Amino acid sequence: MGVIIPTGFGLAKIKMRQLGAAEDMICTWGYDGDVAEDPTVDAQEIHNILIATGRPFAAVQFSSLWKFNGVECIRQTLTGPISGVSTGYINGGTSLSTAPPNTALLLRKNTAHGGRMGKGRCFLPPLWIAENNLDEYGAWAGSNVTTAQALWTSALTALASSDCPVVLLHSDGSTPDPVTSWTLQGVAATQRRRMRR
């Protein structure tokens, strides 16, 4: 089920591509902002936060088999949605041999609300973890998850104090909830469509 973007809020699409792949792989989250803001400005601000030192898409943090292809933002205005994209891409700079693209890191989006309505998720390609750190039970090595978690926590902290704080969008169009934390899960998830199209 999809989500509805209320007026004044936006949806950020984070684009990644495995070298040789024909299409980007995308994860999304909602964000709050000024309804008059240019979504191109939003996209570039989120982009700059994600590529900064100690963040998920700083080149030294992810596999050279992947590249970060930027951010696209869709902002809902009183007259309808408008979109903008960031410029530039980043090639990964580590020698990690990653798991196949249908294997994912599951990122939980947590809010102050309980129950299913208060939680979201997105599926990240495992750019930060070597394939040999995935065991036969589908569990990522604990130290790898801890390292990746620190990168994503740093990004969320920076986003929270930016013009694009992260929120959880809802399928019923109700007021989005601020995301208070992101939690990477220790067991691999799957996204079959990322391998077979």
With respect to residue 45, please indicate whether it lies within any of the assigned structural domains. yes
Contacts of 9 (CB under 8 A, 6+ apart): 30, 31, 32, 33, 75, 76, 167, 169, 176
The residues, ordered by sequence, that sit 6+ positions from 34 with a Cβ below 8 Å of its Cβ are 8, 163
Match 């903008």 to its residue by tokens: 84
Residue 141: both structure tokens together: 């090595």
How many domains, the chain? Answer: 1
Give the pLDDT score at 117: 83
182 within 8 A of 18, measured Cβ to Cβ: no
- H or E element, residue 148: helix 142-160
Residue where the block lists tokens 């390292």: 147
Residue 188 lies in a domain: yes
Residue with tokens 């007259």: 79
Q: Looking at the domain assignment, is residue 4 inside a domain?
A: no
In a domain, 146, yes or no: yes
Asked, for residue 2, whether it belongs to a domain, the answer is no
Residue 120 counted as domain residue: yes
What residues make up the domain containing 23? 9-194
Q: What pLDDT, on the 0 to 100 scale, is given for residue 108?
A: 96
Q: Where are the beta strands (DSSP E) in 4-99?
A: 9-18, 25-32, 66-77, 80-85, 90-91
- Specify the residue for token string 């909830």: 177
The verdict on residue 3 lying in a domain is no
Q: Which of 184, 23, 140 is nearest to 13 (CA)?
A: 23
The pLDDT of residue 1: 53
Predicted confidence at residue 36, as pLDDT, reads 67
| Contact (CB, 8 A) for 64 and 91 | yes
Taking the model in full, what pTM does it have? Answer: 0.93
pLDDT at 52: 98
DSSP 125: -
Cβ atoms of residues 50 and 64 within 8 Å? no
Is 1 domain-assigned?
no
Task: Let me know if 107 is exposed, middle or buried by CB neighbors in 10 A (0-12, 13-18, 19+).
Answer: buried
3-state class of 61 per DSSP? helix
Alpha-carbon distance of 89 to 51, in angstroms, equals: 9
Q: Give per-10-residue mean pLDDT for the chain (197 aa).
A: 88 95 93 82 96 97 96 93 94 92 92 88 92 91 91 98 96 94 94 64
